[in-house]
Every structure is written in C-alpha cells, then in structure tokens.
Amino acid sequence: MSKRLKELHREVSKGLEGVVEFPRREAELLLMAYLGCDPLYFITHQEELIDENNPRLIEWIEKRKRNVPLEYLTNRVSFYSREFYIDEGALIPRPETEHLIDELLSRITPEAAMTVVEVGVGSGIISILLALHLPNARFIAVDISSAALAVARRNIEAFGLSGRIELREGDLLDPVTETIDLLVSNPPYIADDAALESNLSYEPQNALFGGEIGDEIIRRLLDQVYARRIALFGCEMGYDQRLKVQEYLKSFAVKSLEFYKDLASFDRGFILELNKENNE
Ligand SMILES: C[S@@+](CC[C@H](N)C(=O)[O-])C[C@H]1O[C@@H](n2cnc3c(N)ncnc32)[C@H](O)[C@@H]1O
C-alpha cells in the first residue's frame, strides 16, 4: 500500500514518540535517508506516494523505534564534512572529535614527514582526516577490535589511503615498535558503571568504557607516551577528566600541556608535548 509522504512522516513521528527527543525531526531524517533526498525535496514532495510495505523501510522504522542509531541503518556517517562508511563494529564518530584534529593540525606544519600513530582507530576518521592534511606523514593505526579494523579498512580504501595508513590489531602501543613522532587517540573514557542513554547500547562497548573510573586507558597511554618519549600526544577525554589528567602528569616532566574545549565549552581533550630526550 502507498501513503503520501506527509502521512508517512506523521506516522513515523508518532512511532518515535517517547523513544527520541525530537520525533518529527528524526522521522524526517529517516525518511530523507530512505528516499535519498535533501530537505528541499522532502518539503516540496509531501504529496508523493511512498510504498509503505517496502521491507527496507519497515526494517528501518522498526529498528529506529528501538533507538538503533540512524547511522547504523544507513551505514553512512558524516564527519568533518566528509562521508564515511559505518556499521555496528565501530563507534559512530562524534562532532567533538573534530576539535582534536584541528588542535593537532594547528601545531604541525603540513609538509612534516613524520610517523603518526593512532590508538583506537575505530572507523578510521581521525587517521584519514590527518592523512589528508599531512601528505608526507605515514600512519600506523591500532585497534583491539577486529570489527572496528574492518570498518577502518573499508574507509581507508575508499579514500585511497591504504598505502599510507597501516592497520594493526592489538592493545594500545603493543603492536608498534617504530619511533613515534605523534600519537593521537580518542580512547574509551566513560566509567564502566555510568548510566548511558539507550541508543549507546548499540555501539561497541569497548569503544565507550575505559575502566572502573573511566580514565584508566588514558593513564596507560600517558605511561606509554612518557616511556617512549613521544614528543606530541593529542587525546580526547571526558568533560570531567581534566583534573585527573593534570594530577597524573604531576610526576612527569612535561614541556607543555594544553586542554581544549568542545563547542558546548566542556573540557574535551588535551595536547601534551614532551621533550624528546632528557625530560627526567
Ligand atoms: C572512542 S572509540 C574511537 C574511535 C574513533 N577513533 C573515533 O574517534 O570515532 C575507541 C576505540 O578504541 C578501541 N580500543 C579500546 N580499547 C583498546 C585498547 N586497549 N587498545 C587499542 N584499541 C582499543 C575501541 O575498539 C574503539 O574502536
């Protein structure tokens, strides 16, 4: 049976009431993604007849009613004005991670020939964006999850960067023996017992939870940065982890430590510089 787009919009919105914060808007996004259209088309084609029995449409609506993120239904996600493939094997990139990339790029000359390592590559967005801006850098990107690495591989290939970004499976820096000039990470940093919104239950849990307190992986990374004398480390963190990071670094001889905020003015990450040698 066919329904007019405006009626379908109303029905899908109703089905999403109590599930998402803005049902009408979410229903619009779902239908636009399903139709592959832009907002202008959506507004100007309200009378168009849509087959409401299409199995894909039914599946998407049913899954969205269970709060499965739209990105996992469409397998598309936008980040830093580019489109990436995404599935449930990797965390959905968040807009705040764009700040980490900007903070690092503002400190590096674009021509720099350097070895960049990312820990927790997920969908690959950070390494890919950095690689596009740093044409002479080589990248090694690590993840503990083979499902995440499969998503990263797909995106890296789509951007034609397979020759510059090498993927490795393992725990933090264990699979990397090379000298590292820049380490970047958006590690899991939420406390294991934190109560989260239901949509987050569809994302890989090892991408979200960083331990009992939450900052355990960040601290392990800081230890490795210090032990290996990595000159520059850019890291995303939770809005309430600034003091913990500052406290932990008190016993380290650091060259500089700067925190940055996200658009909502929450502390969101830090850039740590170490002297390459003699920083005891
Ligand atoms: C918050 S997600 C970040 C993904 C992606 N870089 C982004 O910014 O969207 C953290 C990633 O770290 C990976 N991870 C968790 N523990 C790890 C570990 N001990 N060693 C390496 N990777 C780890 C997870 O599998 C996940 O892909």
pLDDT digits (tens, 9 = 90+) for 36-48: 999 999 999 999 9
The chain-wide mean pLDDT, for the chain, equals 96
Residue 187 alpha carbon to ligand 1 centre in Å: 5
269: nearest Cα among 247, 249, 240, 248 = 240
Percent of the chain residues past pLDDT 90, beyond the cut: 95
Ligand 1 in contact with 207 (CB < 6 A)? yes
pLDDT at 196 (0 to 100): 87
Pocket test for ligand 1, best of 206, 208, 215 (most atoms within 8 A of CB): 206
Ligand 1 in contact with 122 (CB < 6 A)? yes
pLDDT at 198 (0 to 100): 86
Ligand 1 in contact with 210 (CB < 6 A)? no
> What band does 31 get if pLDDT is binned at 50, 70 and 90?
very high
235-240: average pLDDT:
97
Ligand 1 in contact with 126 (CB < 6 A)? yes
Ligand 1 in contact with 235 (CB < 6 A)? no
Ligand 1 in contact with 171 (CB < 6 A)? yes
Q: Does residue 216 have a pLDDT over 60? A: yes
**Percentage helix, strand, coil for the chain under 3-state DSSP, each rounded to 5:** 40, 20, 40
> Ligand 1: which residue has its CA nearest to atom 24?
207
Q: Are 115 and 137 in contact (CB under 8 A)?
A: yes
Q: Are 230 and 255 in contact (CB under 8 A)?
A: no
> What band does 197 get if pLDDT is binned at 50, 70 and 90?
confident
Pocket test for ligand 1, best of 94, 100, 117, 144 (most atoms within 8 A of CB): 144
pLDDT at 52 (0 to 100): 94
> What band does 247 get if pLDDT is binned at 50, 70 and 90?
very high
Burial (CB < 10 A; 0-12, 13-18, 19+), residue 44, is exposed
63: nearest Cα among 19, 4, 108 = 19
> What band does 279 get if pLDDT is binned at 50, 70 and 90?
very low
Distances (CA, A) of 168 to 39, 46, 80: 40, 48, 24
Q: Are 211 and 217 in contact (CB under 8 A)?
A: yes
pLDDT at 199 (0 to 100): 86
> Ligand 1: which residue has its CA nearest to atom 19?
171
193-219: average pLDDT:
93
Q: Per-residue pLDDT tens for 130-182?
A: 999 999 999 999 999 999 999 999 999 999 999 999 999 999 999 999 999 99
> Ligand 1: which residue has its CA nearest to atom 13?
120
Ligand 1 in contact with 142 (CB < 6 A)? yes
* Stated pTM of the model: 0.94
Q: Per-residue pLDDT tens for 66-120?
A: 999 999 999 999 999 999 999 999 999 999 999 999 999 999 999 999 999 999 9
Radius of gyration of the chain (CA): 21
pLDDT at 153 (0 to 100): 98
> What band does 275 get if pLDDT is binned at 50, 70 and 90?
confident
Pocket test for ligand 1, best of 139, 145, 169 (most atoms within 8 A of CB): 145
Q: Are 270 and 237 in contact (CB under 8 A)?
A: yes
pLDDT at 277 (0 to 100): 65
Residue 221 alpha carbon to ligand 1 centre in Å: 12
Query: Beta partners for 20?
Result: 17
Q: Token pair of 82, please?
A: 């580019």
